[in-house]
Amino acid sequence: MHELGIVFHIIKTVERVGEENQLSTVSSVTIQLGEVSGVVHTELADCWKWAVKKTELLKNAELLIETIPAVTFCEGCDTTYETVRHGRICPHCGSGHTYLVQGNEINLKEIAAC
């Protein structure tokens, strides 16, 4: 389960930021997950609930998840399209010369603290 590893990394990063900024409590953490990042939202949320209870700074912090839509670019016709809906083959021209532009990221967006 790589979700637990992701949660540990987020917590470590937030704790470092908290120390640098002398934060006493973090109330929420917002992350952005790409639609095709391979991260299961429910698993990530469950791991978060378990892991933050073991920290001081984030003990009751909420995890907020925003989804970044997956978008693919077609080199054949220079257009973009929804990756999940259409896959690797361009729905406009049928070309397979495509690549993912966005949608596989995992970003720490915001830390709300007291």
2 is in an annotated binding site: yes
Residue 100 has pLDDT above 70, yes or no: yes
If you search the block for the tokens 């299961």, which residue do you land on? 40
- The 10 Å Cβ neighbour count of residue 97 is 13
Residue 107 falls inside a structural domain = yes
- At 45, which CATH number? 3.30.2320.80
Residue 19 falls inside a structural domain = no
92 is in an annotated binding site: no
pLDDT digits (tens, 9 = 90+) for 22-75: 999 999 999 999 999 999 999 999 999 999 999 999 999 999 999 999 999 999
Residue 17 falls inside a structural domain = no
93 is in an annotated binding site: yes
pTM given for the model: 0.88
Structural domain range at position 101:
2-10+24-113
Look at the chain and report how many structural domains it folds into.
Answer: 1
Rounded-to-integer distance, Cα 17 and Cα 72, Å? 34
**Strand 62-68, strand 26-34: pairing:** parallel
Residue 1 has pLDDT above 70, yes or no: no
114 is in an annotated binding site: no
